Structure 1
Amino acid sequence: MKRTIKTLLAASVVAGAAATAGAYFGLVNVGADDPHFPAVHAFLSMARDRSIEVRSRDIQVPDLDDEALIRAGAGNYNSMCIGCHLAPGTAETELSQSLYPAPPNLTKMGVDGNPAAAFWTIKHGIKATGMPAWGKSMGDPYIWGMVAFLQQLPTLDAQQYQALVASSSGHQHGGGETIMHNHEGQHGGAEAAGEDHHAGEMAGTSQHDAAVEDHHAGEAAGASHHDAAVEDHHAGEKAGMSHHDAEPAADKPAPKSKLAANSHTHADGKEHLHAD
């Protein structure tokens, strides 16, 4: 018996060391596009479900049939949750298709028969799944409103869902609301979203082409300005040369006439001319 225990302990130590070494050397692929092995997935799912069940077993569930509570939950769900958990008439989104583990489609499962577990999950979130701990920004009454709405969600069609959301106060849970996770009006259909995306790409391309044209136009204008400046410079050089040539002519004394060279004026004002 002692030998068996020692063997099991030794095997556990070796297995633990091997697992640690594999993780340390990067052999575990943590990419969300590479699913867990079935055995690993089953173990993690069991650990998650048991953790939530144990921690939610003593939660007291209020009256979830209150219409005001349901309406409040509808507004917050529509603003905060449909990107992952969808809504009646809403196709799968980028988030719902890309997260791993995949978020449950709450339009089909609602609270799954356990409102206390749903409350605990919304309030505390689930590690490494993309499920936030909404209790950091929402008080318990608002979380119960979402639970009350989720209990009704699988029974609603698209028209009933929209009517219920329209009758609510929208994204309102007592303060701390932000638009970062507001999905209202963003999931009208994959086709519309695709058109908006490609329209944005075309607009960006047009802006780029216009910027390139403006750039080349600017270069052409700059070149013309440069050529004009060069021409003005050369014209100025020519003008300067003409001015320079004119200056010696103005400074050089005019030659005296031959007549003026052979005459002189006496004190009485009479001019005397010498014969050559």
Structure 2
Amino acid sequence: MRILYSIVIVGVVLAVSGFAFIHSGIYNVTAMEEHSPLGKWALHTTMKNSVEARVSELDVPSNLASEEMIRQGARAYDQLCVACHLKPGLEDTLLRQGLNPTPPSLVERGHFGPAEQFWVIKNGIKMTGMPAWGVTHDDEDLWEITAFLQRLPSLSEAEYTRLIQPEPGTQAGADDGHDHDHGDMGGMMASGSSHGSTHGEPGHHDMSKPHDARHNDATDHHSSHEPEKASEPEADDHYADGHSH
């Protein structure tokens, strides 16, 4: 009986301690600090085992090596995934720098196979910033991305670029009977291309420069586009103030 009482008391103490810890605000949830090694291990191991426990009934398509699937998947990946998971020639992005845990670089081979990759793409991962693309995309689109991920680690920058370009003889945006407009996350990309391909665009700063240099660039850019002050409207011009009456 004493053992039972001891177990109950320990359980109550742990429950009260946990409740107090949660409500105390002691734990700092800032994404600017790394997880402890123990916390990182616990989160990663939980995620890995959770995914692997849920893919046993998934049927992996037999045509993942299809060039058409890979090409369509490359375009989807370029629109949806590059800002977090990079591409050949891109070393970092603005979005990726602020995420904790840092998203894995899918340019490098990981430990997940196609079934696990599809599950993660479709369902997302809680509290990591990985969205559940299954909410907005059907399985066909997501298997195409999965097919492309099998090829991605072996691609050079030039090969990647060729894959995401329209096929010869077709125009960009041409309707092939399958909607591949996945959205645009380009605004979160401006950092870390090894060849500076994103740094010359208006509105983006070269993150490879010191902060003061980037500030001066931004000031110069703003000054060079300063609009000339409009002349005062004529008193009898009813529409000169730009308002439609």
SS in 2 for 1:108: coil
SS in 2 for 1:44: helix
For 1:141 and 1:43, the matched residues in 2 are separated by: 33
Amino acid at match of 1:99: L
CA shift, 1:117, in A, is: 0.8
1:229 is aligned to none
CA 1:102–1:75: 2 relative to 1, 3 Å: same
CA 1:95–1:5: 2 relative to 1, 3 Å: farther
CA shift, 1:146, in A, is: 0.3
Query: Is residue 18 of structure 2 the alignment partner of residue 11 of structure 1?
Result: no
From 175, 180, 201, give the equivalent of 2:219. 201
SS in 2 for 1:178: coil
8 Å CA contact retained: 1:70, 1:146: yes
Percent of pairs with identical residues? 33
SS in 2 for 1:194: coil
Query: Is residue 155 of structure 2 the alignment partner of residue 150 of structure 1?
Result: no
Which structure would you say has the larger RCO, counting Cα contacts within 8 Å and 6 or more residues apart?
2
**Higher helix proportion:** 1
For 1:137 and 1:81, the matched residues in 2 are separated by: 14
CA shift, 1:184, in A, is: 9.9
Query: Is residue 77 of structure 2 the alignment partner of residue 66 of structure 1?
Result: no
1:92 is aligned to 92
Gapped regions of structure 2 (runs ≥ 5): 208-213, 233-245
CA shift, 1:31, in A, is: 0.6
Moved more, 166-175 or 139-148: 166-175
For 2:9 and 2:41, the matched residues in 1 are separated by: 26
CA shift, 1:39, in A, is: 2.1
Deviations 1:44-95 (A, max 9, x none): 2222112111112210000211111000000010111111100001121122
For 2:15 and 2:174, the matched residues in 1 are separated by: 47
For 2:186 and 2:144, the matched residues in 1 are separated by: 17
For 1:148 and 1:28, the matched residues in 2 are separated by: 40
SS in 2 for 1:103: coil
1:44 is aligned to 43
CA shift, 1:205, in A, is: 5.1
2:165 is aligned to 166
SS in 1 for 2:97: helix
Q: 5 Å matches for 1:1-276? A: 2-63=1-62, 64-109=64-109, 112-167=111-166, 174=179, 177-179=182-184, 181-182=185-186, 188=193, 189=196, 192=200, 193-195=204-206, 198=215, 199-204=217-222
Amino acid at match of 1:204: H
Select the structure of larger CA radius of gyration. 1
For 2:146 and 2:180, the matched residues in 1 are separated by: 19
| TM-score, normalisation: structure 2 | 0.73
CA shift, 1:16, in A, is: 2.5
8 Å CA contact retained: 2:83, 2:188: no
For 1:17 and 1:36, the matched residues in 2 are separated by: 24
Deviations 1:9-60 (A, max 9, x none): 4223212221221221211111111222322222222221121111122100
| TM-score, normalisation: structure 1 | 0.66
Amino acid at match of 1:80: L
1:254 is aligned to none
For 1:103 and 1:75, the matched residues in 2 are separated by: 20
1:256 is aligned to none
1:227 is aligned to none
Q: Alpha carbon RMSD of aligned pairs, Å?
A: 3.2
8 Å CA contact retained: 2:95, 2:188: no
CA shift, 1:194, in A, is: 2.5
For 1:147 and 1:9, the matched residues in 2 are separated by: 49
8 Å CA contact retained: 1:73, 1:142: yes
Amino acid at match of 1:70: I
CA shift, 1:200, in A, is: 3.9
SS in 2 for 1:48: helix
